[in-house]
Amino acid sequence: GENVEQHPSTLSVQEGDSAVIKCTYSDSASNYFPWYKQELGKRPQLIIDIRSNVGEKKDQRIAVTLNKTAKHFSLHITETQPEDSAVYFCAASRPLGNQFYFGTGTSLTVIP
């Protein structure tokens, strides 16, 4: 099955700085890569996703890049704010079956 690795496990940044979280996957058939944000005591919620036919996608302060050849994808958050503090999960999914395989999560702390 798919194996998704995520780094770092914890990340602290000063407010206004950028944060980068990286994931690798093993199954070359995976073609959908969502990122979820989970605030303390709350459910994971999708913040951005990317499909294998594009290399980069941006939504305001959040961007995701995908390198299919190297099988890795990254989340970039610019101009971080305290409300960005949460656990972020990457995931990979194969076609023909929404079986999401998640990374171990990154606990992001934005220091005011």
Q: Which residue in 42, 55, 59, 111 binds another protein (CB under 8 A)?
A: 42
Cα separation, 8 vs 100, in Å, equals 20
CB of 3 or CB of 81, closer to another protein: 3
What is the size of the binding site for another protein (CB under 8 A)? 28
Check: CB of residue 71 under 8 Å from CB of residue 63.
no
Helix (H/G/I), strand (E/B), else coil: 82: helix
Which residues have a Cβ under 8 Å from the Cβ of 37 and sit 6 or more positions away?
44, 45, 47, 86, 87, 88, 89
CB of 80 or CB of 85, closer to another protein: 85
Contact between 11 and another protein by CB under 8 A: the answer reads: no
- Span 48-107, contacts to another protein by CB under 8 A: 49, 51, 89, 91, 93, 95-105
Minimum gap (Å) between residue 3 Cβ and another protein: 10
- Length of the chain in terms of residues written: 112
33: left (phi over 0), alpha (psi -120 to 50) or beta: beta
CB of 9 or CB of 18, closer to another protein: 9
- Residues near another protein (CB under 8 A) are 4, 6, 9, 31-32, 34, 36, 42-46, 49, 51, 89, 91, 93, 95-105
